[in-house]
Amino acid sequence: MGHDLKVAAIQMVSGQSINDNLDIAGKLVAQSAHLGAQVAVLPEFFIRIANAADGELSKIVEPLGSGTIQEQLSEIARKNKIFLVAGTIPIKSDKDKKCYNTALVYNSNGELVCHYHKIHLFKFDNGEHKFDEGVNFIHGDKFSSFTIGNFKFGLAICYDLRFPELFRHLAGVDGFILPAAFLHHTGVAHWEILLRARAIENQCYVLASGQGGVHDNGRHTYGHSMLINPWGEVESVLESGAGIVMGTIKKSVLDKIRQELPALNNRRI
């Protein structure tokens, strides 16, 4: 893979049909591979966007490493000869009726090489509206990173973006990969600025793959999947709708920025 890595952030507007979502995801991954991507990232909840209390989530929870959904994701990666970061799917935990919100990483042979259970779960109640991911999910407690050739990546998911200490723990990676389903009203205010901040303060690339549109359950997600370079510049972005954001991660850019502004070396712990 050398010193350049071509990447793709896939944006979706997932509905409640698992089969339809998998079909769309598979086609967009294949399109990414055709365009030369060596890595493709699916958004959070790419498998299904639904209301927290609809009761259907429990029917698609799988043990880590086995199950119909994971078998299909493995095949998508293998068939397209691409590294696949599969947004998130529900993975079984040891707590009754609760699961992990998990990103899975498959190599180009379709082998599961890494997983990350989302650490920070979104919860709010302003009296008029409330939302609690803890209804269905249990938080993870481990950081995750993986390598592709000469590149090392850290994983985070959506709400994790608001907690810079997670990213700082993994400082030194070449990039962060962040599947998300950011709500529209918070996305307008904070999405891009937080992504750029994580790139600037850690002097690395950030590849963010989001849900982007109005879903069939009425939820409105912000989209704006993007690739940001270590100087904090947005190199490519897709504002809304299903599609692909392409870009290239370059070792030469990482090295140049870290040499000219050695902030990571200058920090005191």
Catalytic positions, please?
44, 118, 158
Cα gap 183→164, rounded to integer Å: 19
Rounded distance between C-alpha atoms, residue 138 and residue 21, angstroms = 24
The phi and psi torsions of 116 (rounded to 5 degrees) equal -140, 120
Phi and psi of 8, rounded to 5°? Answer: -135, 130
Pairwise CA distance, residues 136 & 98, whole Å: 5
User: Do 233 and 223 contact (CB within 8 A), yes or no?
Assistant: no
Tell me if 23 sits within 8 A of 242, measured CB to CB: no
63 contact partners, CB below 8 Å, separation of at least 6: 91, 92
User: In this structure, what token pair is assigned to residue 256?
Assistant: 């140049």
| E strand residue ranges, the chain | 4-11, 39-41, 83-92, 99-106, 112-117, 123-125, 130-132, 145-148, 151-155, 175-180, 205-210, 225-228, 234-238, 243-250
Of all residues in the chain, what percent are helix, strand and coil, respectively (each to 5)?
A: 30, 30, 40
Among candidates 169, 112, 175, 99, which has minimal Cα distance to 140? Answer: 99
Dist CA 256 CA 18 (whole Å): 44
